[in-house]
Amino acid sequence: MSLLYPRLLPGESERLFASLHGRQPEELARFADVTSDRAIFAATGGTRVTRDELRLLAADLEKFAVANGFPRSLTTAGRNDFDRIAARHLHERSGMLPGEASQRQVWAFLALVLIPHVCAWRFPMREGVYLADRFKGTDLTRHTLARLWTRAHVLYDPSLPDPYELLAGLGEADLDHVMARRRSVAATPALVRAIVRAHTEDSRTNDGIPARAVHRDTLRRLLRLTAFLNLDWMSEQELLELVREQRRESRRLLAETGVNVADL
Round to whole Å and give the CA distance between 254 and 64: 39
Same-domain status, 152 and 107: yes
Q: Do residues 60 and 25 make contact, with C-beta atoms less than 8 angstroms apart?
A: no
**141 and 198 together in one domain:** no
Same domain, yes or no: 153 and 206: no
Q: What pLDDT does 134 receive?
A: 97
Q: Is the pLDDT of residue 182 over 90?
A: no
Determine the pLDDT at residue 260: 55
Question: What is the reported pLDDT for 102?
Answer: 96
Q: What's the average model confidence in pLDDT over 172-198? A: 92
What does the pLDDT average to over 244-248?
95
Measured in degrees and rounded to the nearest 5, phi and psi for residue 171 equal -75, 170
Mean pLDDT over each residue of the chain, to the nearest integer: 93
Q: Within 10 A of 225 (CB to CB), how many other CB atoms are there?
A: 15
- Is 216 in a helix, a strand, or coil? helix
Q: Taking a C-beta distance cutoff of 8 angstroms, is the pair 91, 149 a contact?
A: yes
Supply the pLDDT for residue 258.
72
Is residue 164 in some structural domain?
no
Give the pLDDT confidence score for residue 264 in this predicted structure: 45
152 and 173 co-located in one domain:
no
Q: Are residues 142 and 178 in the same domain?
A: no
Q: Write out pLDDT tens, residues 125-161.
A: 999 999 999 999 899 999 999 999 999 999 999 999 9
In a domain, 70, yes or no: yes
- Report how far residue 94's alpha carbon sits from residue 78's, in angstroms, rounded to the nearest whole number: 22
89 and 200, same structural domain?
A: no
pTM, whole model, 2 decimals? 0.92
Q: Do 225 and 150 belong together in one domain?
A: no
Instruction: Give residue 231's pLDDT band: very low, low, confident or very high (50, 70, 90).
Output: confident
Domain count, the chain: 2
DSSP for residue 102? T
Find the domain containing 230 and state its range: 169-264
> Which residues neighbour 210 within 8 Å (Cβ) at sequence distance 6 or greater?
261
On whether residue 163 sits in a domain, the answer given is no
117 and 238 in a single domain? The answer is no
3-state secondary structure of 22: coil
Q: Which of the listed residues 158, 192, 220 is the one where a domain comes to its end?
A: 158
Report for 90-94, 197-201, 211-215: range of highest mean pLDDT: 90-94
**What's at 208, amino acid-wise?**
G
Tell me whether residue 90 is in a domain: yes
Residues 110 and 230 in one domain: no
Specify whether 189 is located in the same domain as 235. Answer: yes
With contact defined as beta carbons under 8 Å apart, do 41 and 7 qualify? Answer: yes
Is the same domain home to 60 and 135?
yes
Cα 53 from Cα 204, distance rounded (Å): 42
Mean pLDDT of all residues in 192-209: 84
CA distance 158 to 165: 10
pLDDT in tens, 38-56: 999 999 999 999 999 999 9
Task: State the sign of the Cα–Cα–Cα–Cα dihedral 140, 145, 146, 151.
Answer: positive
Q: Own/partner pairs for 160-168, CB < 8 Å, 24+ apart?
A: 164/87, 164/88, 164/91, 164/92, 166/193, 166/196, 166/197, 166/200, 167/84, 167/87, 167/88, 168/84
Same domain, 124 and 186: no
Is there a domain that residue 92 lies in? yes
Taking each helix axis from N to C terminus, what angle separates 236-257 and 189-202, rounded to the nearest 10 degrees?
50
pLDDT at 204: 67
Is 148 inside any structural domain? Answer: yes
Residue pLDDT, tens place only, 84-117: 999 999 999 999 999 999 999 999 999 999 999 9
pLDDT computed for residue 262 by the predictor: 46
User: Per-residue pLDDT for 259 more than 70?
Assistant: no
Task: Point out the domain boundary residue: 127, 158, 189.
Answer: 158
Residue 231 maps to a domain: yes
What is the band of 63 on the pLDDT scale with cuts at 50, 70, 90? very high
Residue 40 is assigned to a structural domain of this protein: yes
HSE-up (13 A, CA, CB side) for residue 168: 8
Question: Does residue 234 carry a pLDDT above 70?
Answer: yes
CB 20 within 8 A of CB 53: no
